[in-house]
Amino acid sequence: MWITKMRQSSQSALRVGILCMLMASVAGSNIRCTDTEKRALLSFKQSLVDDSNILSSWESQRDCCKWKGITCNNQTGHVIKLDLHYVSDYYSAEQPLAGEISPSLLQLPYLNYLDLSFNSFEGLRIPSFIGSVSKLKHLKIAGAGFIGTIPDQIGNLSNLHTLDLSRNSAIAVNNLEWLSHLSSLRVLNMSGLNLSEAVSWPQSISKLSSLIELQLSSCNLPNVNPSSLPLLNSSTSLQVLELSDNLLKSSIFSWVVNVSSRLVHVGLMACQVQDLTIDGTKMSGSLPEDLGRLSKLQSLSLVENQLTGSIPDLTGLSSLKMLFLSKNKLNGSVPESMGQLSSLENLDLSSNSLDGVITEAHFLNLSGLKSLDISKNPLSIDLSSDWIPPFQLRDLVIMSCKIGPAFPKWIQTQRKLHTLYITNAGISDSIPNGFWDLSSSLVELNLSFNQIHGKLPNLSSKNCTYFSFDLSSNNLYGPLPPFPPNISTVFLSKNTISGSLSSLFAMETPSLFHLDLSDNLLSGELPNCWIQFQQMLNLNLAKNNFSGKIPHSMGYLQNLAVLRLQDNNFSGELPSLENCTELGVVDLGGNKLTGRIPEWIGKRLSKLIILRLRQNEFNGSLPSSLCNLPALQNLDLSHNRVSGLLPQCLNNLTAMYNEIDVRLILGLVQVVWKGLELEFGENLKYLRSIDISSNYLSGTIPDNLTSLYKLISLNLSRNNLNGSIPEKFGQLHMLESLDLSRNQILGNIPGSFSDLTFLGVLDLSHNNLSGRIPLSTQLQGFNASVYMGNEGLCGKPLTKRCPGDETDEGSSATKGSEHDDIEGDDDGFVSFGFYLSMGVGYFVGFWGIFGPLLLKRSWRNAYFKFLHDAEDWIYVKTRAAKARLMQKRR
């Protein structure tokens, strides 16, 4: 009986529960937004400009809870979220919202989330009434184009958890005092705002006790004054701190160290941070002495800043695994305490000004060290010959440090090396035989710029898997050895290696990308087997004694970007390279090549930047197809036997008047510059030059040559050119070197030559020029020899005067040119009357001003007060201007 009653009671309770849920569900399904809030939203929409009809669902007959971007409370129907942030899509034509923000938002009393980010409210100020939307917890208006200042009323949003004002670059912030009222704030993002005037920003941030994430990158943050920092920081919750891309000095460390005990990610250091990375911020100052207190720090990277001073004692960094301080201005010696960092695995101190001696003490307890780079410091490495390091390195880079003269024997103890760079280290020893079997994992070897001597062994038989091999600029001799089959880069330039290239073809090396054997004593004919190197990008065999014809099989090198065969003894006609369409540099100068310059150069090699065929025996006319090289910046066809006319299409050489993006590594190229043959490297991409001198060209200089506005050097000397110089030659305003000498050019020097203000080298000698030399600082500043051999020229700097110029020194007051005549008359006129008038004027003016000052005290006091006030005004303005300039520089 009792059980039956219990069962009936349970069934009744279940029925009641189900009925309640059904009623709640039905009631919930009928919840709609209120009419008042709908009208407020429609008013808000009306103030917007919606060109892409983003708010098409906002219709008065529909429930506003179902409108795009609207979220309502599912029990009350009140609008709680308005999210209309714009998402940029490359493939979409949708435009962001614009217009104005209506104060009708105040009629949404339960709104706690507002996101209008990345819309287009250009030129508007942040509305102050937003500070009255009292229930807001999340306010995001990033990248919306707002200007002006942040209204203080934002500080009234005491419930705010998230505030994102970032990427409104036109907003300037003078102070952040309003932040102190946002006691619930957890995420603050003001990246990209101008905070340069917010000098008390650390104090303001320190009052946000609930803050978890702070984003202040690219804010022009002012540097911190350590004496003004708060003694006690209440923001113990901060975990993420981003201060990247600000010109901060190292005084910021004092604030960051105390900002929070819970930091896990920071662009600066903090007490318990494990990963501290501040790369490329131009931060200046010295490393703090208490840096070693960060006992939990595992990675410290301060690369590419402007830090100065010495490296402090870091022995307290017992957990440190990675230390990167490269590309700064650190000086002094490397502290021996560095050798106590027993957890250290990666150490990079390169590109500083560290000096002194590195000894065994610096590595005493570094048993886990895997990567070491101390390059580009004036350091000396003094390690005993029998020293055995406690570590096994994977990467060792020591460039431009003093190690030699002996080859360091301790290197042979490193059996796990992948990368070994010891360049410009003063080593004048031979390489020990055992070195070549050092490590089967060694893939990059660079011992260049030393004085290493001896022969290279047969590397194909050694226990090595070189990927890159560079022993250039040494004293190696003997034949070229076979290389491992998987090698991709071989640099052996500037040695005395002799013999032929036969060993290069003895082993198949299909992965060979870069081969530089220039400036050696190699000889013989090139094998016609280049088809096996179809992946090759860079081939440099310049400055050797190769002879014979250039092999036809080089035409199979379809990926070749750089071909340098200059200064050898190659002969015959140039084989077809028309399939090598990636070529950017072709230098075949200083050989004995014959035949016509091929048409396919202009038709097929459209990426050509440098074409250098000087000092050969090419003949025939210049192919007009050369005008089809839009990237060509350096054309040198000098010292050949080319005849005919200059092409009339030279204005098609686009790179000679437009900027182009040169991404190809050009290397060193010899260019005749201002009469001297010089090697240009990185700066070659800025040099536009044409040199077709010492040929048999005839005809006139094309007028359209003057449209090559970026041309810096032009040499057409020692030809048979005639006609006149184009009148618009002055359009070549960047021209620094011009040589038209030893032709048959006639007529006047165009007056536009006066516009060639950068001209530093000029030679117009031995032509048939006539008339007056135009007047300009440059043209009259040259030696007269640059105009010699032109019988009809006159005027300075030549001694020959032009018709109408004065010829009789004794009659200079009545004869000569109009200019000299006036000048002589003026001198005669002012000899007495002018000086008399000047003296009387000076006397009257002086006593008219200073007389009353001497005789009347009130005038005197007023005058000197004016001078004092003017001095103060100038001083203040000068200091202010200096301060602004220093801020910009930082």
In this predicted structure, the answer to whether residue 695 has a pLDDT above a threshold of 70 is yes
Going by pLDDT thresholds of 50, 70 and 90, the confidence category of residue 339 is very high
In this predicted structure, the answer to whether residue 4 has a pLDDT above a threshold of 70 is no
- Which contacts qualify for 194-200: CB closer than 8 Å, 24 or more apart? 194/169, 194/219, 194/220, 195/219, 195/220, 195/221, 195/222, 196/172, 196/220, 196/221, 196/222, 196/887, 197/172, 197/173, 197/222, 198/173, 198/174, 198/222, 199/225, 200/175, 200/176, 200/228
- Which contacts qualify for 855-858: CB closer than 8 Å, 24 or more apart? none
In this predicted structure, the answer to whether residue 28 has a pLDDT above a threshold of 60 is no
- The reported pTM is 0.67
Tokens representing 65?
């809870």
Q: Which of 67-76, 485-494, 597-606, 867-876 is least confident?
A: 867-876
> Quick one: CA torsion of 104, 106, 110, 112, rounded to 10 degrees?
100
Going by pLDDT thresholds of 50, 70 and 90, the confidence category of residue 224 is low
Nearest C-alpha neighbor of 253 from the set 284, 279, 232: 284
Which residues 6+ apart lie within 8 Å of 781 measured at CB? Answer: 797
What pLDDT, on the 0 to 100 scale, is given for residue 227?
53
In this predicted structure, the answer to whether residue 268 has a pLDDT above a threshold of 80 is no
> Quick one: CA torsion of 48, 54, 57, 61, rounded to 10 degrees?
20
Nearest C-alpha neighbor of 117 from the set 108, 109, 126: 126
What pLDDT, on the 0 to 100 scale, is given for residue 236?
62
pLDDT tens readout for residues 465-502? 788 999 999 999 999 998 888 889 999 999 999 999 98
Half-sphere exposure of 397 (CA within 13 A, CB side): 17
d(CA 130, CA 105): 8
pLDDT tens readout for residues 656-674? 988 776 665 556 666 665 5
Tokens representing 859?
């005038």
Nearest C-alpha neighbor of 325 from the set 353, 296, 361, 297: 353
For the chain, give the mean pLDDT.
83
pLDDT tens readout for residues 825-845? 444 434 445 455 555 555 555
- E strands, 674-804, are 676-680, 689-691, 696-699, 713-715, 720-721, 737-739, 746-747, 761-763, 768-772, 792-794
Neighbours of 847 (CB within 10 A): 11
In this predicted structure, the answer to whether residue 177 has a pLDDT above a threshold of 60 is yes
What pLDDT, on the 0 to 100 scale, is given for residue 253?
58
Q: What is the DSSP letter of 9?
A: H
Going by pLDDT thresholds of 50, 70 and 90, the confidence category of residue 285 is confident
| Residue 792 contacts residue 771 (beta carbons within 8 Å) | yes
What pLDDT, on the 0 to 100 scale, is given for residue 871?
55
Q: In the chain, what are the domains?
A: 27-171 (3.80.10.10)
d(CA 862, CA 365): 77
In this predicted structure, the answer to whether residue 872 has a pLDDT above a threshold of 60 is no
> 115 has which bridge partners?
83, 140
Q: Which residue has the higher pLDDT, 675 or 139?
A: 139
What pLDDT, on the 0 to 100 scale, is given for residue 274?
73
Range from 194-208, 272-286, 758-772 that averages highest in pLDDT:
758-772
Going by pLDDT thresholds of 50, 70 and 90, the confidence category of residue 219 is confident
Q: Which of 267-276, 569-578, 579-588 is least confident?
A: 267-276
Q: E strand or H helix at 784, and its extent?
A: none
In this predicted structure, the answer to whether residue 449 has a pLDDT above a threshold of 90 is yes
676-680 and 669-673 strand pairing: antiparallel
Q: Which residue has the higher pLDDT, 270 or 65?
A: 65
What pLDDT, on the 0 to 100 scale, is given for residue 823?
37
Nearest C-alpha neighbor of 456 from the set 489, 479, 429, 423: 479
Q: 611 — phi, psi (to 5°)?
A: -125, 115
In this predicted structure, the answer to whether residue 523 has a pLDDT above a threshold of 70 is yes
In this predicted structure, the answer to whether residue 571 has a pLDDT above a threshold of 70 is yes
444-446 and 468-470 strand pairing: parallel
d(CA 657, CA 443): 44
pLDDT tens readout for residues 698-732? 999 999 999 999 999 999 999 999 999 999 999 99
| Residue 191 contacts residue 217 (beta carbons within 8 Å) | yes
Measured CA angle at 449 (ends 445, 454), to 5 deg: 75
Tokens representing 275?
């990963």
- E strands, 553-633, are 562-564, 569-573, 585-587, 592-596, 610-612, 617-621
